[in-house]
Chains A and B, each alone.
Chain A
């Protein structure tokens, strides 16, 4: 590879989707060309993210990228570390199948063929913002990128051609903007007491000044937790999520549930572990709030998911429950817990996209939204149902599937910190998860068919689903490099 590309790879990964988002409207009428362009962007992104992971793991790239060559206190930095390359890899692994899935499949859900281009532009903007969130090392950049991601997420929800979509999107927009205002306030507090917007410099100052102004630091962290909590659907603040994620067009649901929510989480972890140190979180009892919100989220959101009859709504509530796992793991403050959190983040991203894409395919082919109406679909759409089954097994955490590895590490982390309640809830969450996903599988395979005509989707959609299912199994059988990256990222964050 030429040295220019290698040295500037992080920036290219942010710019690539943004440039594509700029080009797409100019070819709005040529759908075939658009979709090919998207596939090229997706493959280039995957190649780039894979190469970045390789470089980071072998120390082939400097961990700090200075934008425009300006040094740190004045210029803006990108932090090219294990966490960033890990999340970029996850993003790249999800977007390729999502692009494949939406190939010649979007016109019905979005309304008309002309609107498909706008939908793609929003997806690309979201991906650009997520890549930026993974890499950024600047407090105010986080705010701007979070806003870009939020507006494109709301745009994706409202792009569905459905009478209820505008209202769900409006509620999402109001709550998410409320969250942004809180995040901006938290950033303001940190800036006032440290005088820096660069995360590294702010952290150095914060360690010294927090004793003199503990209330300000506490306010800052609470504002950030509440703000990102709204956006990432932390349990009592999740009210917008079930409507928004179930009404969005299927590929958008997969992206929103699988990736967008995690982008905010990654930013929150950066604030909590890189700007504040774990010791500070424990001192100010932030970790207890995270832990209890996580525990309640796992149990209550799972119970709510069991009661939902609409398939996509059930999956949306399941997302709230799984976000509870991530907050719980982050609150454990030990290496195994945190690396389990990161691995679970990756595996949930893959699994939830597979679930949403296969469920969306069943719904759009049969026109039936409810679980009870989908009886016997396993015989009509074997591939789709098989992918749904594999992903369900993964989410429940059956060994040899990817969810198991994440949950296992979370469990070890909980036991490491002697927290038996959390360990119990982690296991109970798996049982509850089985209680809301396995009935779908049972109905699909072992009940007489009610649906007359239904068949598996076309080749691109099948490819996308199979790709995700293979990932679910692969991450479970050979977690190797992803687990290693998650471990290193956790170590980075916990050792200052």
Chain B
């Protein structure tokens, strides 16, 4: 138990990454408000980004700008660079999802997934008549 705690303390960024991931996943799966679902996705992705960046970090490591002095440990810049791409993807997905929410709101007049499920039949009938 003690060893586990010590390991957790040393690797605390991973611990927080897991908490963020689970929080996000829980929000996506349980909340019915579409905005909250979207925020949940973002929190979840934030957890993954933290996980990656923490994986590249080395305690006491220097900024990875190569200068001529031997004996310096550099942190791994690759994971941070990868997460730059990940953040771009996440932002574009968020923008797209917001655009979809606007369209849904125009049709249903609500952003609550449960009410939308109730109204779906009505909308279906309305569009079959017209």
Q: Verify if B23 is at the interface (C-beta below 8 Å from A).
A: no
Mark B69-106 against chain A: 1 for CB-CB distance below 8 A, else 0.
00000000011001001100100110011001101100
Q: Verify if A419 is at the interface (C-beta below 8 Å from B).
A: no
**Contact assessment for A170 and B82 in the assembled complex, using a CB-CB cutoff below 8 Å:** no
Stretch at the interface among A43-51, A79-87, A158-166: A158-166
Docked CA distance A197–B81 (Å): 13
Q: How many A-B residue pairs have CB under 8 A?
A: 77
Q: Which residues of B contact A166 (CB under 8 A)?
A: 100, 103-104, 107
Q: Which residues of B contact A192 (CB under 8 A)?
A: 55
Q: Which residues of A contact B124 (CB under 8 A)?
A: 164
Q: Verify if A451 is at the interface (C-beta below 8 Å from B).
A: no
Q: Which residues of B contact A162 (CB under 8 A)?
A: 127
Q: Verify if A269 is at the interface (C-beta below 8 Å from B).
A: no
**Contact assessment for B28 and A178 in the assembled complex, using a CB-CB cutoff below 8 Å:** yes
Query: Closest Cβ of chain B: how far from A193's Cβ, in Å?
Result: 10
**Contact assessment for B93 and A163 in the assembled complex, using a CB-CB cutoff below 8 Å:** no
Residue from A140, A155, A181 having most chain B Cβ neighbours under 10 A: A181
Q: Verify if A184 is at the interface (C-beta below 8 Å from B).
A: yes
Query: Closest Cβ of chain B: how far from A102's Cβ, in Å?
Result: 23
Interface residues on A, range: 20 to 34
Docked CA distance A412–B48 (Å): 42
Q: Which residues of A contact B104 (CB under 8 A)?
A: 166-167, 170
Docked CA distance A163–B52 (Å): 40
**Contact assessment for A178 and B55 in the assembled complex, using a CB-CB cutoff below 8 Å:** no
**Contact assessment for B25 and A163 in the assembled complex, using a CB-CB cutoff below 8 Å:** no
**Contact assessment for B34 and A177 in the assembled complex, using a CB-CB cutoff below 8 Å:** no
**Contact assessment for B21 and A185 in the assembled complex, using a CB-CB cutoff below 8 Å:** yes
Within 8 A of B (CB), among A83-99: none
**Contact assessment for B55 and A191 in the assembled complex, using a CB-CB cutoff below 8 Å:** yes
Residue from A155, A166, A167, A191 having most chain B Cβ neighbours under 10 A: A167
Q: Verify if A154 is at the interface (C-beta below 8 Å from B).
A: yes
Residue of B nearest to A173 (CB): B97
Q: Verify if B114 is at the interface (C-beta below 8 Å from A).
A: no
Docked CA distance A144–B41 (Å): 17
How many residues of chain B get a CB closer than 8 Å to chain A's CBs? 36
**Contact assessment for A164 and B100 in the assembled complex, using a CB-CB cutoff below 8 Å:** no
**Contact assessment for A188 and B85 in the assembled complex, using a CB-CB cutoff below 8 Å:** no
**Contact assessment for B79 and A177 in the assembled complex, using a CB-CB cutoff below 8 Å:** no
Q: Verify if A492 is at the interface (C-beta below 8 Å from B).
A: no
Question: In the complex where A170-B34, A173-B97 touch, is A188 in contact with B51 (Cβ < 8 A)?
Answer: yes
Query: Closest Cβ of chain A: how far from B68's Cβ, in Å?
Result: 21
Q: Which residues of A contact B25 (CB under 8 A)?
A: 178
Residue of A nearest to B117 (CB): A167
Docked CA distance A166–B79 (Å): 35
Main secondary structure of the interface of B (DSSP, over half): helix
Docked CA distance A184–B108 (Å): 34
Residue of B nearest to A185 (CB): B48
**Contact assessment for A181 and B103 in the assembled complex, using a CB-CB cutoff below 8 Å:** no
Docked CA distance A412–B126 (Å): 51
Residue of A nearest to B79 (CB): A191
Query: Closest Cβ of chain A: how far from B113's Cβ, in Å?
Result: 8
Contact of A181 among B34, B48, B116 (CB under 8 A): B48
Q: Which residues of B contact A180 (CB under 8 A)?
A: 89
Residue from B51, B78, B96, B127 having most chain A Cβ neighbours under 10 A: B96
**Contact assessment for B103 and A158 in the assembled complex, using a CB-CB cutoff below 8 Å:** yes
Q: Verify if A151 is at the interface (C-beta below 8 Å from B).
A: yes
**Contact assessment for B116 and A167 in the assembled complex, using a CB-CB cutoff below 8 Å:** yes
Q: Verify if A470 is at the interface (C-beta below 8 Å from B).
A: no
Query: Closest Cβ of chain A: how far from B25's Cβ, in Å?
Result: 7
Query: Closest Cβ of chain A: how far from B99's Cβ, in Å?
Result: 9
Q: Verify if A484 is at the interface (C-beta below 8 Å from B).
A: no
Docked CA distance A166–B127 (Å): 14
Docked CA distance A268–B64 (Å): 33
Residue of A nearest to B41 (CB): A177
Q: Verify if A147 is at the interface (C-beta below 8 Å from B).
A: yes
Contact of B48 among A169, A173, A188 (CB under 8 A): A188
Q: Which residues of A contact B123 (CB under 8 A)?
A: 163-164
Q: Verify if A174 is at the interface (C-beta below 8 Å from B).
A: yes
Residue of A nearest to B45 (CB): A181
**Contact assessment for A174 and B38 in the assembled complex, using a CB-CB cutoff below 8 Å:** yes
Docked CA distance A291–B124 (Å): 37
Question: In the complex where A144-B89, A185-B21 touch, is A170 in contact with B41 (Cβ < 8 A)?
Answer: no
Query: Closest Cβ of chain A: how far from B102's Cβ, in Å?
Result: 9
**Contact assessment for A184 and B41 in the assembled complex, using a CB-CB cutoff below 8 Å:** no
**Contact assessment for A169 and B21 in the assembled complex, using a CB-CB cutoff below 8 Å:** no
Q: Which residues of B contact A143 (CB under 8 A)?
A: 86
Query: Closest Cβ of chain B: how far from A336's Cβ, in Å?
Result: 38
Q: Which residues of A contact B (CB under 8 A)?
A: 140, 143-144, 147, 151, 154-155, 158, 162-164, 166-167, 169-170, 173-174, 177-178, 180-181, 184-185, 188, 191-192, 197
A-B contact pairs, 7 of them (CB 8 A): A164-B120, A166-B103, A173-B100, A174-B41, A181-B24, A181-B44, A185-B21
Q: Which residues of B contact A (CB under 8 A)?
A: 21, 24-25, 28, 34, 37-38, 41, 44-45, 48, 51-52, 55, 78-79, 82, 85-86, 89, 92-93, 96-97, 100-101, 103-104, 107-108, 116, 120, 123-124, 126-127
